[in-house]
Amino acid sequence: MTALPQPHPIPSPRAGAGPDDLSAGRPPGLYFAGVVPFPPVSSRPRLPAPKPAAALKPRRGNEPAYDFLASLLDQAGIAIEQYRSNALLRRVPACLRALGVSTVAEAAERLAARPALAWSLLDVVLLGVTEFCRDPAAFQHLKATVLPELARSQARLRIWSAGCSEGQELYSVAACLAEADWLERCELLGTDCRPEAIARARLGEYATHGQAIAPAAWRRAHLLPAGENVRIHPRLRVATTWRVSDVLGHPEPGPWHLIFCRNLAIYLEPPVAAALWRRLGEQLAPGGYLVTGKAENPAATGAFSRVAPCFYQLRPPC
C-alpha cells in the first residue's frame, strides 16, 4: 500500500497577495508545480440563469406550499411529481427560514422578485447530506473486497457518484484508490442537479467542523489546511470530474464498474425509484456494483443481487 505524502501547513501568502493567490510558499511537489492550482473566484463556474417567474406553472392551486416547491424545482428542470410530496413538504419551513419570511406567500413573492435565489433554495429542499468516509462499514467492504476485485479484472476503472452532493463521498473513494496506488488508472465522475453543490465539489474546500467522522490519520493524509477550512489534496482533485446533471433524466453513459447512488431513492415515488434502478443497471458493466443507502433495495427490480449491506451486483443476463 502506497500512502500519500503527509501534507504540511500552507504558509501565509506573500504581502499584497489577494485571497485567491495561494501559490506563494507552497511545499515543493505537493501541488505538482502548479499543475492543479485552486481556481480563483473569477474562473469558478457560473450558475445557469434561472427561469423567469412568469414561465413557472402552478401544479395545485389549493396547496400553496406544493406550488411553491414545484416552481422552485422547475428552475432546475426537475418534475416535483417524481418525489414523495411529504418528504419535500417537510423542507418548506427550512425554506422560509432561509428566505427570512414567515409564510409561503411571502416566500413565493421573494422568489418571483429574485429568481436567482432558487439555486440556494435547491440546496435546502434537496438536502444532500454527505461526509468523508460516511458509513465506515461500507467503506471497509469497498476497500477490502470490491475495489481489489475490480482492480484485478479491469485495466481502467470507471466510477460514477450520482447525486454526489458536495463531493465528499467521491473524494473518499478517490482516497481509497490512492492508498492502494490505483488512482491514476481510474475515471471518477460526480454529478448532481444542484449547480452550487457541484461548484463546491469542484473547488474541494470544506469547513473544518463536520470532518471528525474521518479518522485523524486519514484527514492528515488527504486534507490540507486552508485558513479556517480544509482542502482536498491535489492528487485527489485532479483525478475527479464534476458535472451538473440530473440522474433521473440523464444517466451518464456506461459502462461503469461502480456506481454510487445513495439515499436518493428513498425520497422518490416507488415507480420512479424502480425506473432509476433499472436505468443505472443498464449503465453498469457486467459484474459491476451499485452502492446504495441502507434503506434502499434495488434487488427488488430483479436486476441486482445483494452481496453485502448497501452493495448490489448486476446479475448476468438470462
Give the per-residue pLDDT at 40: 44
How far apart, in whole angstroms, are the C-alpha atoms of residue 217 and residue 179?
Answer: 12
Give the per-residue pLDDT at 250: 86
- pTM here is 0.79
pLDDT single digits (tens) 172-202: 999 999 999 999 999 999 999 988 899 999 9
Q: How confident is the model at residue 315 (pLDDT cuts 50, 70, 90)?
A: confident
Q: How confident is the model at residue 212 (pLDDT cuts 50, 70, 90)?
A: low
Half-sphere exposure of 113 (CA within 13 A, CB side): 7
Return the HEC string of the chain. CCCCCCCCCCCCCCCCCCCCCCCCCCCCCCCHHHCCCCCCHHHCCCCCCCCCHHHCCCCCCCCHHHHHHHHHHHCCCCCHHHECHHHHHCCHHHHHHHHCCCCHHHHHHHHHHCCCHHHHHHHHHCCCCCCCCCCHHHHHHHHHHHHHHHHHHCCCEEEEEECCCCCHHHHHHHHHHHHCCCHHHEEEEEEECCHHHHHHHHHCEEECCCCCCCCHHHHHHHEEEECCEEEECHHHHCCEEEEECCCCCCCCCCCEEEEECCCCHHHECHHHHHHHHHHHHHHEEEEEEEECCCCCCHHHHCCEEEEECCEEEECCCC
How far apart, in whole angstroms, are the C-alpha atoms of residue 8 and residue 25?
Answer: 11
Mean pLDDT of the chain: 82
Give the per-residue pLDDT at 318: 63
Domain segments of the chain as ranges: 53-125, 129-314
How far apart, in whole angstroms, are the C-alpha atoms of residue 132 and residue 139?
Answer: 10
Give the per-residue pLDDT at 80: 93
How far apart, in whole angstroms, are the C-alpha atoms of residue 230 and residue 222?
Answer: 10
Class of domain 129-314: alpha beta
Using a 10 angstrom Cβ sphere, with 0-12 exposed, 13-18 middle and 19 or more buried, the burial of residue 213 is: middle
